[in-house]
Amino acid sequence: MKPAQIRQLTTEEIRSRLEDARHELMNLRFQVVTGQQTDTSRMKKTRRLIARFETILRERELAESRGAK
């Protein structure tokens, strides 16, 4: 997902997708270790997606704290 697409989601949707992405990363790690998965680039893509989700959530937290002051 592109950052612009993520920003259109609600905070709860982002948190839900973040949790799903973390589970996917865990499963990918197991698959690579057991030899079921040879495409390690999926791990990189999933890690970057998690980082995008966390970055946008943090942006929203900071925007809320600035608005409260």
Tell me the pLDDT of the chain (69 aa) as tens digits. Answer: 899 999 999 999 999 999 999 999 999 999 999 999 888 899 999 999 999 999 999 999 999 999 876
**Which CATH architecture describes the domain 3-68?**
Orthogonal Bundle (1.10)
Question: Rounded CA gap, 8 and 34, in Å?
Answer: 37
For residue 3, which phi and psi values (nearest 5 degrees)?
Answer: -55, -35
Say how many CA atoms lie within 13 Å of 26 toward its Cβ: 6
**pTM exceeding 0.85:** yes
Amino acid at 1: M
Type of residue at 40: T
What pLDDT score was predicted for residue 1? 87
Q: Where are the domains of the chain?
A: 3-68
Predicted local distance difference test score (pLDDT) of residue 5: 96
- Cβ–Cβ < 8 Å for 50, 21: yes
- Go through the chain and tell me how many residues it has: 69
